[in-house]
């Protein structure tokens, strides 16, 4: 029977995803990723495996090339930048993601970060815990401009929530005009979005073009009162440039759910910068989104093994 490796950290032996795969005639092996996993450990876990249901494991060309039996990789999420898709294609390995699977969760979380930043909720709670009673002014979202970078499923789900708070929404995207389904969104050039947005929320995939797109020059174009929100991928932001920009007052702050290295290392330039709050990659982690991703990932894996992948990116 085909053997499946499951590394997604919230999937467990005996759960409904495991039962689904077993009922499909597969055998399962769980090796949940906790923190960083070295390539040798990953190669070892992939030995004798036909398909893998993964989180953010680094499926490099070297790792894929040494997984001799591997035919299918399914990512239980939207981003798949941790997988060398070109190498997988050369090796005949099918790679799938689950587009839009956690859009609602990410959109609601984005609004949570906006509210926390606008009303300084983290600073208030930390101050009270330390024995103080912070009473600093916050800002209302009503009347503010939200700039969306990218217009995928999560960004589109943010729009009605932001509009319900009375925000104006502008967007910069590579999605062709005929496919935008705009609604109450005004599409603007990159420079205009940076210059006019009170909050800039990142929802773009990580590619060679978007890596470090938020660099010193981008921050210099933003309002000094602007706040950056990132629930996409950490490497979209130049972290040293962001730390410098917040410290110097070039922008007001940032709320980051993702960073370049996770967990955040002790030497990160983002540490101890007043105005920057780093969260632990939780945007898509609701009970509902996890269940949907697990079951959809299992279904995609079974379909891909049968040559019927629905969301293949290779």
The string of pLDDT tens digits covering residues 44-97 is 999 999 999 999 899 999 999 999 999 999 999 999 999 999 999 999 999 999
State pLDDT tens for residues 119-139. 999 999 999 999 999 999 999
* Confidence class for position 110, pLDDT limits 50, 70, 90: very high
The answer to whether residue 107 scores a pLDDT higher than 80 is: yes
The answer to whether residue 35 scores a pLDDT higher than 70 is: no
The answer to whether residue 182 scores a pLDDT higher than 70 is: no
Residue 123: predicted pLDDT: 96
* Confidence class for position 175, pLDDT limits 50, 70, 90: confident
Tell me the mean pLDDT in the region 225-233. 98
Residue 180: predicted pLDDT: 79
State pLDDT tens for residues 7-27. 999 999 999 999 999 999 999
State pLDDT tens for residues 251-297. 999 999 999 999 999 999 999 999 999 999 999 999 999 999 999 99
Residue 242: predicted pLDDT: 99
* Confidence class for position 183, pLDDT limits 50, 70, 90: confident
The answer to whether residue 166 scores a pLDDT higher than 90 is: yes
Nearest by Cα to 9 from 305, 262, 264: 262
Residue 176: predicted pLDDT: 83
Q: Are 169 and 191 in contact (CB under 8 A)?
A: no
Q: Are 45 and 39 in contact (CB under 8 A)?
A: no
In the sheet that holds 27-30, the strands lie side by side as 27-30, 3-6, 51-54, 72-75, 94-96
Tell whether the torsion through CA atoms of 200, 201, 206 and 212 is positive or negative.
positive
Q: How many CB atoms lie within 10 A of CB 234?
A: 20
For residues 9 and 79, give the distance between their C-alpha atoms in angstroms, rounded to a whole number: 16
Residues carrying an active site annotation: 233, 262, 281
**pTM (two decimals):** 0.94
* Confidence class for position 106, pLDDT limits 50, 70, 90: very high
The answer to whether residue 179 scores a pLDDT higher than 80 is: no
């Amino acid at each position: 029977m085909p053997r499946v490796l499951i590394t997604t950290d919230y999937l467990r032996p005996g759960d409904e995803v495991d039962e689904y795969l077993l009922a499909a005639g597969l055998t399962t092996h769980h090796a949940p990723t906790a923190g960083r996993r070295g390539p040798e450990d990953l190669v070892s876990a992939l030995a004798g495996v036909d398909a893998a249901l993964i989180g953010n494991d680094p499926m490099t060309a070297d790792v894929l090339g040494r997984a001799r039996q591997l035919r299918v990789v399914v990512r239980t999420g939207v981003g798949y930048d941790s997988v060398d898709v070109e190498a997988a294609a050369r090796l005949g390995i099918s790679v799938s993601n689950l587009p839009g699977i956690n859009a609602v969760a990410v959109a609601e979380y984005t609004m949570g970060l906006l509210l926390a930043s606008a009303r300084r909720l983290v600073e208030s709670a930390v101050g009270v815990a330390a024995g103080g009673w912070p009473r600093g002014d916050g800002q209302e979202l009503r009347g503010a401009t939200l700039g969306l970078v990218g217009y995928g499923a999560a960004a589109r789900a943010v729009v009605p929530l932001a509009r319900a708070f009375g925000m104006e929404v502008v967007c910069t995207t590579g999605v062709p005009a005929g496919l935008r389904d705009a609604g109450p969104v005004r599409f603007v050039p990159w420079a205009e979005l940076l210059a006019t947005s009170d909050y800039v929320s990142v929802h773009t995939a990580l590619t060679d073009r978007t890596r470090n797109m938020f660099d010193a020059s981008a921050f210099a174009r933003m309002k000094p009162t602007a706040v950056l929100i990132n629930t996409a991928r950490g490497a979209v932001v130049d972290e040293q440039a962001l730390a410098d920009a917040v410290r110097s007052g070039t922008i007001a702050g940032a709320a980051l759910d993702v960073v370049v290295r996770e967990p955040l290392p002790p030497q990160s330039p983002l540490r101890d910068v007043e105005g920057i709050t780093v969260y632990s990659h939780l945007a898509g982690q609701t009970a509902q989104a996890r269940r949907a991703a697990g079951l959809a990932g299992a279904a995609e894996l079974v379909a891909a093994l049968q040559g019927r992948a629905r969301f293949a990116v290779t």
